[in-house]
Structures are given as structure tokens and as C-alpha cells.
Amino acid sequence: MGATPVLRAPAHQVSPRAVAYWRVSALLGDVVLVAAATAAWLLVPRVPGWVGLLVALLAVGSVVHVVAMPRIRFRVHRWEVNDLAVHTREGWVGRTSRIAPISRVQTVDSRQGALMRLFGLASITVTTASASGPITVDCLDAEVARDVVGRLTAITATTEGDAT
């Protein structure tokens, strides 16, 4: 019996601009959350004093989230597309790795919201014949995302099978 092959990490990192994008995105969401919690604490009559402590802990947690999460995600998030498969790894607290054989790819989509466009980023989503759902590669340089979509389209067009 042969040795079990070792799965290596996907070859490519996301764009370095992803760090700033994730930071701004987290900041916008966390500011809204902390502001809403603070407003509720200050405006609702007869709120126990310990609720203020919870709001303060939420604010501290938000600062940690905005500062730490983007750098951790950047170190973890990786992707690779080759003639055999699409392979991704993502997460910042937990880790998720996904591999989809090219023969299972059904559609390839790209997405670029307003904030992503501001940072020159785009995401691609690869829909497969899998109960686990699509594979997404977030925060690629927009030009790299266009190239990957084109490459995946070309590879899947020449791959035998019906992706089911």
C-alpha cells in the first residue's frame, strides 16, 4: 500500500488590499452595532447598570475585531484553480477548506460590490453539484478575478462530464 498523499495549502493568497477592505467593512458594521447598543442602553428607562458593562465589552470586542480579524484572514485565506480542481481555504477563528473537482463545476460568477470596487477587489463564486453549496474566493484583485473566471470557463468547457 502506498503512502497517503498530503494535501498542501492552496497556492495563492488573496489581494493585500483585502486587509483594508475587511477592516473598513468590519468597522462599518461594528460602529452600527455599538451605536445601536449604546443608544438602547442610554435611551431605555431603568436599564440595569450591568448593561453598560456589556456595551463597553461589546465596544472592546469590536476594536479587537477590527484590528485583528483582517490580518488573520489575510494569512489564512488562500485559493487555487488548476485543470483538476478549485481549492480554497478561509476563516479567521475556524478554518474551512473546500476542493471541487473541475468536472463538478456548473457555473462561475463574479461579484463586485461598491466597497469592493472602491478597493479594486472582486469575488468569484463557483457553483458545483455539491450539497455543501458554492465555493467563494473573496477579495481577489479585480483583474485577477476576471482572469480566473475566464480560465475556469475555458477549463470547464473542455472537461468531460455533466457536472452532476
For position 129, what pLDDT does the model report? 82
For position 32, what pLDDT does the model report? 97
For residue 59, pLDDT beyond 80: yes
Output DSSP code: residue 100. Answer: E
| Dihedral over Cα of 36, 61, 92, 151: its sign | positive
* d(C-alpha 151, C-alpha 160), whole Å: 16
- CB burial of 26-53 (b: ≥16 within 10 Å; e: otherwise) equals bbeebeeebeebeeebeeeeeeeeeeee
Give me the residue label for grid cell 476542493.
Answer: 99
For position 135, what pLDDT does the model report? 94
User: What average pLDDT score do residues 120-126 get?
Assistant: 97
Q: Which three cell numbers stand for residue 93?
A: 477563528
User: What average pLDDT score do residues 93-116 get?
Assistant: 92
pLDDT band for position 72 (cuts 50, 70, 90)? very high
User: What average pLDDT score do residues 73-97 get?
Assistant: 92
pLDDT band for position 162 (cuts 50, 70, 90)? low
pTM score, whole prediction = 0.86
Q: Which three cell numbers stand for residue 18?
A: 483585502
